[in-house]
Amino acid sequence: MSTAKVTYLGNLRTECEHLKSGNTFITDAPTDNNGKGEAFSPTDTVATGLANCMLTVMGIKARSLGVPLDGTTAMVTKTMASDPRRISKIEVVMSLPANIDDKSQKILENTANTCPVHYSLHPDIERVVTFNWG
């Protein structure tokens, strides 16, 4: 069974539908590639997907450790390269709660750095991840 349906809407825009839930989002070409930049670009979704995955698996692990991660945020910066046009670097800066012990912090950091998206990205994409506890 398919995971998603993507429909080209014209003017360099797509609508993405998650088939199981019916949730949708729009992508738009970025301003540096002939677009309006009015929504996530396809490469934005890839870069953001890394942070989404990291936080999700950390949440699963935090639940089993009995530690709270609610309110944790991740700021994502994507850098593009040319020839060929591609993502060359993804930076993720996480802001996490201060009230988590050192051992749990290390476990959660390892969990984040071994998430499925991390392993799925091309090895030439540089990844810089910073964990700011408290």
Q: Where are the chain's structural domains? A: 4-33, 42-133
What is the phi/psi pair of residue 66, to 5°? 75, 30
Q: Residues 41, 47: contact at Cβ < 8 Å?
A: no
pTM for the model stands at 0.94
CA distance 78 to 89: 6
At 18-65, the pLDDT tens digits run 999 999 999 999 999 999 999 999 999 999 999 999 999 999 999 999
Q: What is the pLDDT, as a whole number, of residue 57?
A: 98
Decide: 28 and 41 in contact? Cβ < 8 Å: yes
pLDDT band with cut points at 50, 70 and 90 for residue 106:
very high
Tell me the per-residue pLDDT of 92-101, one tens digit each, with 9 for 90 and over. Answer: 999 999 999 9
- pLDDT score recorded for residue 35: 93
The residue behind tokens 């994409």 is: 125
CATH architecture of 42-133: 2-Layer Sandwich (3.30)
Q: Closest Cα to residue 97, out of 63, 126, 70, 62?
A: 70
Q: Looking at residue 96, what is its pLDDT?
A: 97
Q: How confident is the model at residue 81 (pLDDT cuts 50, 70, 90)?
A: very high
Question: How high is the pLDDT of residue 118?
Answer: 97
